[in-house]
Structure formats: C-alpha cells, structure tokens
Structure 1
Amino acid sequence: MARLEIKSGSKTSYCGGFLIRPDAVLSAAHCVDKIGTVKVTVILGAHDVTSREQSQQKIRVGQWVIHPDYQSSPDYVKNDIVLLKLKPRARINENVQFISIPRRNEHLREGALCRVSGWGLTSDTGNRSNVLREVELKVQKEEICQQLFKNYQRQSMICVGDEYSKKASGRGDSGGPLVCNKKAHGIVSHARKRHRFPEVFTRISYFEPWIREQLRRFALQDIPYSPFSD
C-alpha cells in the first residue's frame, strides 16, 4: 500500500496507491491531474502516517503517465488510471511488497469479496484516519451501476459495495487497490455525491496491456545511453 502526497502550489492533497513493481506505483489519474506544478511523494511501508516509522520509505516521483483517454468532469470520470515511476526504486522487505495485477482476460465474479485499504475519511463528517484502515466490499451487478451512473462502462469499470454493509471507501482513499484473491483488480475511482453505495472502481484487467507497455518504457529509460554501442 502506498500513500501519495500531492503538492500543487500551496495545497496538499492525499491519495492511495499500490506498488506493482519496485519502480512503479498505480493510482487514480484524478489524484494528479492538478493545474500548475505538481510534486508527488510516495510513502511506502506506513501504518501510522503521523509518526516517523522505521518501516516507511519516502520516494519523490520523477514522472508519471496518465492514461491518454482519461476524462474528468463533475458528472463522470473515465479511464481513471495513472502509473508513477519511482526513482530510486523501492526496497522490497517485510513491510514493503508489490502486488500482482490480473491479466486482460481475468474477470471478477459478481458477489466476490474484496478488500480496500486507505487513510481516507472515516465518516462524512469525520477526519482522515492516521492509521491504515481496511474494509471488505462486495462486487455488485453491473446493472446497478449502469442505472445510477450514466457514463458507467462495463469493460473498464467495476461496480462495488452495497448499502447493507454500511461501509465504503471515503475521501482520501482514491487510487487505492481493490484486492481480491491477493490481486489488485480495481482502483478506487468515484461515487455519487452524498451517496456511498455503490462505488465505481477502475477495472485493472482492461488496462493491463497499457500498463505493461508503460512498464516496458520505464525499463528502457533506465538503460544507459551509449552513442558507441551497435
């Protein structure tokens, strides 16, 4: 689990994210699509973000790639995914691990139980959580989100969370992973104003080819350039 500290001018906002390789973190594009100069710091291995835990690794993000078809308006968000390149790479240890992502053809079944973690708001009127919290959420029928979100796209989004559980991700949890069967299948994206159920997550399997392509580009950038090589 990663915490993103996003500085834009004098404002600082926070999001979630997750490590998929020692040099790459996935998150939601709307976390970093600010106007002007944006600085992003990734914090890995954190539990209580108010203390300087020995397990924490703070890494400034050199660059990131927002999906080219990302769109955002007050009514909808589409292709809400960003890949951040870490330099230096994260040190993998017992506190910092990366998580697998599904292949293009892997699908989540309706009714699947998944987990979402984050440091977001604990209630509509509450404060951000200082410690990492986790909630279990159920994958819903696509039709529910299609009725409630006019721009819901089945192939690239997942409908998650029901009113019976009374729990959901909150503000500040954006970009965090929806973990099902030890894989990150979704990214916290958006919900309706004043409604916490259901929520829309970015469907990672749909974007898997794009993610792999960006990871290949990251790797190529790390190869030292030599004008005399063949």
Structure 2
Amino acid sequence: MRSLYKFLFFHFLTCFGLEETIGSEIIHGKKVPEQLMLYMASVQDSSGHHVCGGFLIAEDLVVTAAHCQHGNPTNVVLGAHDLNKIDNDTNRYTAESCLHPRFANSRTGNDIMLLKLSKKVKMDKNVQKIRFPNSDIKIKDNAKCRVAGWGFTRNGGKTVNVLQVVDVPFVNLKVCKAKWHHFGLDLPDSAICAGGYGSNKGFCKGDSGGPLVCGGMAVGVVSFNMRNNCDYPTIPNIYTNISKYRHWIKDKKRECKM
C-alpha cells in the first residue's frame, strides 16, 4: 500500500508538480509599505532577473532556499520594495552561494542556502536585518504569521514588481504531515507548515526563499507547495524550519567567504 501511495504521489507530481519553480507571488495579499519588512531581499541572476526571495540576517548574509541555486543567483537587491526602482549603486550586491551540504531536493529537506554578500550592508531607514531563532521554535497552532514576496498572485498569474505580504495561520506539524502523507510524501522533521490549508492565503510561484515571519522573527524559509494549487485551501504550504539550522548558519557566518 505504501508503494501504491508513492506511485500515486509521483503520478500527481507529473501532472501538477511541486512549487519548485525558481522565483515563487503572494495569494490574497497586499502591498508592503516601504518602511516595513526592510529585511526582504530579491535574489537575482546575472541579468538582473528576480529568481527568488530571501531575507537579511547579518550585515553580509542573506538566507534563501537551496533549490533557488538552480536559478544561478549571483546578485541580491536590498532596500527596494519596488523592483522597477532599483539603484544598482546602492541596492545591488554581488553574492556567493553557500548551499547546505545535505540538500538533494525540496521534498527531502535541508532546503536552505546562504548568500554571502560582497560587502557589508549599511543598516539604515531602507535596510534592516531580521532575527532568527537561537533555540527550537514553539509556535501555537493557528498563530498568525506572515509571508512576503514578489511572486504570483493567483494560478496562471504573473509576478509583480511591488513586494506583497499576507497573513497565514501556522499549521500543526502532525496535521501537516498527515495531509502530505495522504499523497505519499513523508515530510522531514525539518519542515514547518503555514497557510494553504484552512485558509485562502499563502505563497505561490515566485516566493521561494522568502521568510515565514512569526512574532517579528524569521522562523521558516519558503520551500514548496502543490503547483497549480495557489487558490487554496487543500494542503499546507511547506517551509524549512530555520531553528534546525541555527548552528550551521552560525558556522557559515565565519566560513562562507567571497
């Protein structure tokens, strides 16, 4: 029976796929005021094309999703909520990727990557870093969190230039695992879930790598959901639990160099 579940799951993926497309917009969200969420980063390729979201955790370090590596990220834009209003001299930074060594694909976990910036960012009214957990997180079921990005706003839609944000409910991990197990996927313990189930809000194509923010702290990294399933509610959205990688992040702060 387990083999049958897996066969049906991968058949489902063949037809519909997982949200692993590089660059993932926000469903039923709203524009982010320019003075808020100043840690948000647009991760871009060498041509200046937005491929993923990310967030600043130190003066020279941005967190994003490991699967974003497929988009060949070489640049990070900070301090620009509107991607049509980028000053390359002040907003753009070259970056080197530090991929988690055990990452294989989003479904098996370790979907986290650090981007080491070529120079330190000056914290000011346009750019600020965000805190991340220094211990295992404990978040109540249905707690209101938020996710932001420049991705699709609906199925078959398109990305936007102005940063969007939406509130999403935190989903109990046991419930989340059970929902995904029904489709033959056993989520890793490093996953956390929010939105996409019991809610008409969540992320979609183009928001990958962005943060799940709860209580003013980045607790998750946008990883995947069911492609063509951004109209909700069906199965919870999946994020990488940052607290599981806090020691790795701290080590990479020293080791990851340009």
TM-score if structure 1 supplies the norm length? 0.84
Separation in 1, partners of 2:54, 2:187: 22
Gaps of 5+ in 1: 223-230
**How far apart are 1:193 and its partner, in Å?**
2.8
Superposed, 1:139-178 pairs within 5 Å as 139-149=170-180, 150-154=185-189, 156-178=190-212
Specify which structure has the higher proportion of helix.
2
2:122 corresponds to which residue?
91
2:108–2:188 CA contact under 8 A, matched in 1: no
Identity over aligned pairs, percent: 36
1:118 maps onto 2:156 in alignment = no
Separation in 2, partners of 1:163, 1:132: 23
Which of 207, 210, 223 is equivalent to 2:248? 210
Map Cα deviations across residues 151-170 of structure 1 (whole Å, 9 max, x no partner).
3123x110111444311111
Amino acid paired to 1:70: F
Q: Which 4+ stretches in 1 moved above 6 angstroms?
A: none
1:82 maps onto 2:119 in alignment = no
1:19 corresponds to which residue?
56
1:109 corresponds to which residue?
140
Map Cα deviations across residues 129-165 of structure 1 (whole Å, 9 max, x no partner).
11000000011121232123313123x1101114443
1:45 maps onto 2:82 in alignment = no
Which of 195, 201, 220 is equivalent to 1:186? 220
Q: Residue 13 and residue 97 in structure 1: after superposition, are their counterparts in 2 closer, same or farther (change >3 A)?
A: closer
1:2 corresponds to which residue?
41
RCO comparison, higher one (Cα < 8 Å, 6+) = 2
**How far apart are 1:90 and its partner, in Å?**
1.4
1:28 corresponds to which residue?
65
Map Cα deviations across residues 172-202 of structure 1 (whole Å, 9 max, x no partner).
1000001111110000000123334411000
Number of positions where the alignment pairs a residue of Structure 1 with one of Structure 2: 211
TM-score if structure 2 supplies the norm length? 0.75
Separation in 2, partners of 1:17, 1:52: 16
Gaps of 5+ in 2: 1-39
Cα RMSD, aligned residues only: 2.3
Specify which structure has the higher proportion of strand.
1
